[in-house]
Structure 1
Amino acid sequence: MDREELLSATPEGSGAPKKQESPLVSLEKDLEFYSDAIKEVAIEIMVEGISAHPIFIAHQHQVSIGEMILNKEELNTDWTIQASTLEEFVEKGIISKEKKDPFLKVYKKPEDFMCVFVIVPEGANFIYYPYKGFKK
Structure 2
Amino acid sequence: MESEELLNGAGQNGQQDRKEKKESPLVSLEKDLAFYAESVKEVAMDILTEGISTAPIFIAHQHEVKLGEVILNREELNTNWTIQASTLEEFIEKGIIKPEKKEHFLKNYKNPQDFMCVFVIVPEGANYVFYPYPK
TM-score category of the 2 structures, normalised to the smaller one? 0.7 to 0.9
Show the counterpart of 1:127.
Answer: 129
2:25 aligned with 1:23: yes
Of all paired residues, the percent bearing the same amino acid is 73
Show the counterpart of 2:104.
Answer: 102
Residue 69 (structure 1) shift = 0.1
CA distance in 2, matches of 1:132, 1:21: 25
Show the counterpart of 2:48.
Answer: 46
Equivalences, count:
115
Give the gaps of 5 or more residues in structure 1. Answer: 1-18
The residue type paired with residue 39 of structure 2 is A
Show the counterpart of 1:5.
Answer: none
2:63 aligned with 1:73: no
CA distance in 2, matches of 1:23, 1:92: 26
SS at match of 1:88: helix
Residue 105 (structure 1) shift = 0.2
Taking structure 2 as the reference length, the TM-score comes to: 0.84
CA distance in 2, matches of 1:46, 1:23: 29
Residue 132 (structure 1) shift = 1.1
SS at match of 1:99: helix
Residue 31 (structure 1) shift = 0.1
Give the gaps of 5 or more residues in structure 2. Answer: 1-20
CA distance in 1, matches of 2:27, 2:125: 16
The residue type paired with residue 123 of structure 1 is G
Query: Runs (4+) of structure 1 moved beyond 3 Å?
Result: none
